[in-house]
Amino acid sequence: MAGVMDSVNQRTQLVGQNRLELLLFRLNGEQLYGINVFKVREVLQCPVLTLLPKAHPVVRGVANIRGATIPILDLSMATGLPGLQEETRNSFVIITEYNTKTQGFLVHSVERIVNMNWEEIHPPPKGTGRDHYLTAVTRVDNRMVEIIDVEKVLAEVSPSSQQVSAGVVDEEVAVKAVSLRVLTVDDSSVARKQVSRCLQTVGVEVVALNDGRQALDYLRKLVDEGKRPEDEFLMMISDIEMPEMDGYTLTSEIRNDPRMQKLHICLHTSLSGVFNQAMVKKVGADDFLAKFRPDDLAQRVVDRIKATH
């Protein structure tokens, strides 16, 4: 896999064109899985792992990589499958960055990178139930590829606080919030619940949708009925990575439609880095926020309430 990540910088041009690149890998069997290349820092043969006493069973150990101590999670076990059975030295680790945290995912093998359009990425089929670990599925070379809900995995292995600190929401804001609504868009069921709980603490009503295409259709229906999204919603808080249509493309579509272009948009994502802030400006979003920091998210909503009401 040497060089697999060498051209990540060249790939940044894909974002904003409703495109992505998936790194394909396998866990225990022949099933292919995918992860967005933008979440991946590097891929390497599994290094020597140091076991941690009382660690979560999914954490196979920690590794020292480029001077940093990084937890290594058995992604097979984390998604309800049997853990990887072979010696870890025969496996690979995908080093990823989610929600400003770095971790490695232990996998059986890493295949290749494929260039895709978000329109080719679809929500999991109905009937998969509520306990699955997928945010999306797609097909590559006529084979099913499953895209894992990493935010759900991380929330189970290392839960973060979802509480908003006392003092973030004052009484005056809480009174005003009751009559206001916020539109949220995210393909991860865990992320939707986290955001909804946080916003309900502020006091606003939450309308939660699953992907960019669904959100755009919803907003177009509103304006077709003669309503103005900026009157209906205090703001829209949208994920960036979503099947059917990503958050950048959704933002561009809204900004290019005079009937809805005044809607306040905050992009809320586990993708890290300066690059995303540049993209936020390019597509015309009003704000950018890294997931998931309850106080920061609540403060954005509070600031918006104070600025407009």
* pLDDT at site 9: 43
* pLDDT at site 86: 67
Rounded to 5°, the CA angle 137-143-148 comes to: 30
131-183 confidence digits (pLDDT tens): 678 889 999 999 999 999 888 898 888 877 778 888 899 999 999 999 999 99
Could you tell me if 264 and 305 are in contact, meaning their C-beta atoms sit under 8 angstroms apart? Answer: no
Task: Give the pLDDT band (50/70/90) at residue 279.
Answer: confident
Q: Which amino acid, 99?
A: N
Burial class of residue 253 in the structure, from the number of CB atoms within 10 Å of its CB (0-12 exposed, 13-18 middle, 19+ buried):
buried
For the segment 232-237, the average pLDDT, to the nearest whole number, is 98
Per-residue pLDDT at 4 exceeds 70: no
Q: In whole angstroms, what is the distance from residue 309 CA to residue 289 CA?
A: 22
Report the sign of the C-alpha dihedral through residues 301, 231, 188, 4, in that order: negative
Per-residue pLDDT at 27 exceeds 90: yes
* pLDDT at site 160: 74
Could you tell me if 65 and 95 are in contact, meaning their C-beta atoms sit under 8 angstroms apart? Answer: yes
**Mean pLDDT value across the chain:** 87
**Lowest model confidence (mean pLDDT) among 5-14, 18-27, 112-121, 262-271:** 5-14
pTM of the model: 0.82
Of residues 185 and 9, the one with the higher pLDDT is 185
* pLDDT at site 37: 86
**Lowest model confidence (mean pLDDT) among 37-41, 92-96, 139-143, 276-280:** 276-280
Per-residue pLDDT at 271 exceeds 90: no
78-126 confidence digits (pLDDT tens): 998 888 876 777 899 999 988 778 999 999 999 999 999 989 999 888 7
Q: In whole angstroms, what is the distance from residue 241 CA to residue 150 CA?
A: 12
